[in-house]
Structure 1
Amino acid sequence: MPDFTSLRTLAEQTAQHAYAPYSNLRVGAALRATSGAVYAGCNVENASYSIGGCAERAAIAAAVQAEGAAFRLAAIAVAAFSDTGTPLPVSPCGACRQALIEFGIEAGVSFRQPDGSWVEVDVDALLPYRFILPAQ
């Protein structure tokens, strides 16, 4: 499993920049590409809820913008906080799990548990029955 220390710190810092006036849930994600580069993203909400964006997919978008289609995910850490700054146990949502699989089926994922500790799992364990587009 990769070293998540610096990714967790960056995810926590990035969460403080989230735009979350509706849920008051601030989420930050920091990822390391297989290239070694690090990218971060935060959630951005919208009054039309369905067009908001998750932190994980924002970090992936930053990585793809920088590295292009060659981007591959090595590791990602996700940190979430309440509006009062309390750390929350939040794992990647289903859509983000599918996006993570797309870029790194063997990537490591770290997020907080209800007791406040961090857990580390392979992204494949988060979504064992993922969508796979059949070859044409």
Structure 2
Amino acid sequence: MPDIKELIRLAAEARDMAYAPYSNHPVGVALVTDTGDIYTGCNIENAAYPLGNCAEQSAISAMVLGGGRVIREIVVVGPTEAVCTPCGGCRQRIREFSTPDTIVYSCNSERVLLTMTLDELLPHSFGPENLNKL
């Protein structure tokens, strides 16, 4: 399993590739699957704002394309020293591919600023098990 410093480095590299000309808020993510594979992503903005992609969404898309289905831990690196946590939509996206004890780290380029489980980040969440199966 990669150490947290390596995951922060990978997320910061992804952040540096972000396309964020409108918000000037580049974000990078590195996630680790239950099989130990690592996927990264960055945010990609669009002049038609709702059409952009968050970094978490980009990393999860890469994971799914690579055959991954379960996130064990995810590192989010924002542009400043302030804590940068996933937005509401991304919390739900992470939830789709996680367990309640998946670890979410909010970091700057050097260190962890906040550590929480998915259950702490998104308590009483809605997921696949809440849907009636036909």
Q: Equivalents in 1 of 2:34, 2:9: separation in Å?
A: 19
Pair 1:110 & 2:105 matched: yes
TM-score under structure 1 length normalisation: 0.85
Match of 1:76 in 2: 74
Number of aligned pairs?
Answer: 127
Q: Report the counterpart of residue 51 of structure 2 in structure 1.
A: 51
The answer for the alignment partner of 2:124 in structure 1 is 129
Give 1:31's aligned residue.
31
Cα distance, 1:99 vs. partner? 0.9
The one-letter amino acid of 1:61's match is S
* 1:76 match: secondary structure: strand
Counterpart contact for 2:31–2:74, Cα < 8 Å? yes
Asked if structure 1 preserves the Cα contact closer than 8 Å seen for 2:75 and 2:107, the reply is no
Unaligned runs of 5+ in 2: none
Q: CA RMSD of the aligned region, Å? A: 1.8
> Is the 1:40–1:59 contact (alpha carbons within 8 Å) kept by the matching residues of 2?
yes
* Segments ≥4 residues shifted beyond 6 Å: none
SS in 2 for 1:125: helix
Specify the code of the residue in structure 1 equivalent to 2:131.
P
The AA in structure 2 aligned to 1:45 is E
Task: Tell me how far 1:112 sits from its aligned partner.
Answer: 3.5
